[in-house]
Amino acid sequence: MFDTETDPTKDVAHRPWPLPDGPWIMAQRWNDLLFAHWPVSVDVIRPLVPSELTLDRYGGTAWLSVTPFLLDNLHARGLPALPWGSEFFELNVRTYVTVGGKGGVFFFSLDASSALAVAGARTLFNLPYFQADMRATTRPDGTIDYESKRKDTSSGIAVFSGSFAPAGEVLLSKPGSLEHWLTERYCLYTVSVDGTVHRTEIHHRQWPLQPARAEIRVNTMASAAGVVLPDVAPRLSFCKSLDVVIWAPHAVGS
Instruction: Specify the CATH number for 8-16+27-251; select among 1.10.10.10, 3.40.190.170, 2.40.400.10, 3.20.20.70.
Output: 2.40.400.10
Is 230's pLDDT higher than 90? yes
C-alpha angle 224/225/226, rounded to 5°? 90
Residue 94 has pLDDT above 90, yes or no: yes
Domain locations in the chain as residue ranges: 8-16+27-251
Instruction: Tell the burial category of 58 from Cβ atoms under 10 Å away from its Cβ (0-12, 13-18, 19+).
Output: middle
Are 217 and 149 in contact by the 8 Å Cβ rule? The answer is: no
Computed over its alpha carbons, how large is the radius of gyration of the chain? Answer: 17
Mean pLDDT of 2-21: 84
pLDDT over threshold 90, residue 32: yes
Express each pLDDT in 183-193 by its tens digit: 999 999 999 99
Query: Does 4 score more than 60 pLDDT?
Result: no
Average pLDDT over residues 108-122: 93
Give one DSSP letter per residue of 100-141, joined into a string.
TTEEEEEEEEEEES-HHHHHHHHHHH---EEEEEEEEEE-TT
Q: Among 191, 170, 159, which residue's Cα sits nearest to residue 51?
A: 191
Q: 85 falls in which pLDDT band (50, 70, 90)? A: confident
